[in-house]
C-alpha cells in the first residue's frame, strides 16, 4: 500500500465542563492512505465526529487538544496557525455533514456556492469556474446540472442536497473528504445511491475518504479499511474483510452481534450490556473491560497493541501471547 496521507498519533482531546474535565479522545492512533476509504465506527459518543473535527482544526468551544500529532502529507497540522488551517479546509481536506442543510447556505444558489469555494482557493476566471462547477454537478450525478446551478437548496430533495454538498466539498480538488454520517438522514434507496457515489468518487477523483458512521453495514459496503472506536480510543483496525469477518476485539464482536444485518433507517446499534464510560474519569486500563465478557485482572492496565496480521491490529490482552 502507498504512503499514508494522514497519520494520527496519540490524539487526546479534553473538554472543560461544569461537571469536570471530559476526556473525549484518549490517544487515537490512525492512518488514512491515499485513495483509501477508511470507516470510523463505534457507538454514540465514542469520538468519531471529534476525530474528524480535530483533523480539520475545528475543535468545538471548550475543547482542547492536550497531546498528539496529526500528520498530513508530512506536516503536523496541530502545530499550524488558524490561517494555515483555513487554507487546508476546503482546498485539501473537505467535510460532508449528516444534514446537508447545515452546510448549504439557503440564500445562495448551488452554482454560487460552488463558485464561492472555488474563488477562495483557486485563481480562475468566471467562465472556467462556471464550467468546472457544471462538471462537478455532473460528477455527483445530479440531473440537468445547468438547471441545478441556478436552484436554491430548498428546491432540492434530501439526496440531491447531499449530492450538491459533495460537489461543493470536491470543488477545490481536496485530497481527503471527511464524511460524517453522510447518509443517516436519507432513506434507504437514496442512502445506497450516495454511498455508491462516494465509492466511485474515490476511484474517479482519487480522493481519500474518512467515512464516519455508526453503521457496520455502511462500512462493509463502502470502506476498504476500518477503525473501531471505543471511549475515544481505537480498539481494532485493519482491512474491512479482516476486521468485520474475523473480528478479534470483544467490543468489535459485540458491535457486530448488535448490528442489524442490513442497514435500514431508524435502526441503531443496541443491546451491548452496560454503558459507555462518561469520560469524566481518565482511562486507566481497557475502557471496555467493565462491559467485556472476557475481562481479566490484567485489563486494569492499558491494553497492548497486538498485530493480528501486518495490517490488522487489536488492542487487547486476549491476544497478547500471540505477539512475537
Q: Does 149 bind ligand ATP (CB under 6 A)?
A: no
How many residues in the shown chain lie near Mg ion by CB under 5 A? 2
Site for ligand ATP in 273-312 (CB under 6 A): 279
Site for Mg ion in 238-257 (CB under 5 A): none
- Written as one string, the DSSP assignment of 153-219 is GGGS-HHHHHHHHHHHHHTT--SEEEEESTTTTS-HHHHHHHHHHHHHHHHHH--EEEEEES-HHHH
Q: Does 96 bind ligand ATP (CB under 6 A)?
A: no
Q: How far is the CB of 4 from ligand ATP (least distance, A)?
A: 22
Which residues, 6 or more positions from 146, have their beta carbon under 8 angstroms from its beta carbon? 134
Q: Does 128 bind ligand ATP (CB under 6 A)?
A: no
Q: How far is the CB of 34 from ligand ATP (least distance, A)?
A: 25
Q: Does 51 bind Mg ion (CB under 5 A)?
A: no
Q: Which residue, among 29, 51, 69, has the nearest Cα to 304 in the 3D structure?
A: 29
> What cell numbers appear for 129 in the block?
469556474
Q: Does 20 bind ligand ATP (CB under 6 A)?
A: no
Rounded (5°) CA angle 103-183-143: 75
Instruction: Output 61 or 126, the one with its CB closest to ligand ATP.
Output: 61
Which residues, 6 or more positions from 232, have their beta carbon under 8 angstroms from its beta carbon? 13, 23, 24, 25, 26, 27, 28, 46, 47, 50, 279, 283, 287
CA atoms within 13 A on the CB side of 117: 31
Q: How far is the CB of 196 from Mg ion (least distance, A)?
A: 23
Site for ligand ATP in 46-85 (CB under 6 A): 46-50, 60, 62
Q: Does 176 bind ligand ATP (CB under 6 A)?
A: no
Q: Does 5 bind ligand ATP (CB under 6 A)?
A: no
Q: Which of 24, 37, 208, 292 binds ligand ATP (CB under 6 A)?
A: 24
> What cell numbers appear for 58 in the block?
475545528
Q: Does 12 bind ligand ATP (CB under 6 A)?
A: no
Instruction: Output 23 or 132, the one with its CB closest to ligand ATP.
Output: 23
Q: Does 258 bind ligand ATP (CB under 6 A)?
A: no
- Written as one string, the DSSP assignment of 258-319 is HS-SS--TT------SS----SSS---S-TTGGG-TT--GGGGSPPPEEEEETTEEEE-GGG
Q: Which of 26, 49, 224, 289 binds Mg ion (CB under 5 A)?
A: 49
Instruction: Output 64 or 246, the one with its CB closest to ligand ATP.
Output: 64
> What cell numbers appear for 2 in the block?
502507498
Site for ligand ATP in 212-231 (CB under 6 A): 214
Contact present, 142 and 160 (Cβ < 8 Å): yes
Instruction: Output 115 or 181, the one with its CB closest to ligand ATP.
Output: 181
Secondary structure letter of residue 68 according to DSSP: E
Q: Which residues form the interface with Mg ion (CB under 5 A)?
A: 48-49
Q: Which residues form the interface with ligand ATP (CB under 6 A)?
A: 15, 17, 22, 24, 42, 44-50, 60, 62, 214, 279
Amino acid at each position: 500500500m502507498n504512503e499514508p496521507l494522514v497519520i494520527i498519533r496519540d490524539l487526546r482531546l479534553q473538554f472543560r465542563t461544569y461537571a469536570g474535565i471530559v476526556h473525549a479522545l484518549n490517544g487515537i492512533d490512525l492512518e488514512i492512505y491515499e485513495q483509501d476509504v477508511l470507516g470510523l465506527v463505534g457507538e454514540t459518543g465514542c469520538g468519531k465526529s471529534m476525530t474528524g473535527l480535530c483533523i480539520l482544526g475545528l475543535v468545538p468551544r471548550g475543547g482542547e487538544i492536550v497531546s498528539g500529532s496529526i500528520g498530513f502529507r508530512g506536516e503536523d497540522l496541530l502545530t499550524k496557525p488558524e490561517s494555515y488551517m483555513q487554507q487546508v479546509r476546503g482546498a485539501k481536506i473537505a467535510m460532508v455533514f449528516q444534514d446537508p442543510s447545515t452546510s448549504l447556505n439557503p440564500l445562495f444558489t448551488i452554482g454560487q456556492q460552488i463558485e464561492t469555494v472555488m474563488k477562495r482557493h483557486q485563481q480562475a476566471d468566471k467562465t472556467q469556474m462556471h464550467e468546472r462547477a457544471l462538471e462537478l454537478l455532473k460528477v455527483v450525478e445530479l440531473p440537468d446540472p445547468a438547471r441545478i446551478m441556478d436552484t436554491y437548496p430548498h428546491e432540492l430533495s434530501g439526496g440531491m442536497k447531499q449530492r450538491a454538498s459533495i460537489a461543493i466539498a470536491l470543488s477545490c480538488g481536496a485530497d481527503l473528504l471527511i464524511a460524517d454520517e453522510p447518509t443517516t438522514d436519507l432513506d434507504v434507496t437514496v442512502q445506497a445511491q450516495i454511498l455508491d457515489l462516494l465509492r466511485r468518487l474515490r476511484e474517479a477523483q482519487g480522493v481519500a475518504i474518512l467515512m464516519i458512521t455508526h453503521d457496520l453495514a455502511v462500512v462493509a459496503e463502502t470502506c476498504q479499511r476500518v477503525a473501531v472506536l471505543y471511549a475515544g480510543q481505537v480498539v481494532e483496525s485493519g482491512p474491512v474483510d479482516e476486521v468485520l469477518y474475523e473480528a478479534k476485539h470483544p467490543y468489535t464482536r459485540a458491535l457486530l452481534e448488535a448490528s442489524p444485518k442490513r442497514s435500514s433507517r431508524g435502526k441503531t446499534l443496541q443491546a451491548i450490556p452496560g454503558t459507555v464510560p462518561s469520560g469524566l474519569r481518565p482511562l486507566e486500563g481497557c475502557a471496555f473491560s467493565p462491559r467485556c465478557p472476557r475481562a481479566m485482572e490484567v485489563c486494569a492496565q492499558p491494553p497492548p497493541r497486538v498485530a493480528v496480521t501486518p495490517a490488522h491490529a487489536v488492542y487487547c490482552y486476549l491476544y497478547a501471547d500471540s505477539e512475537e
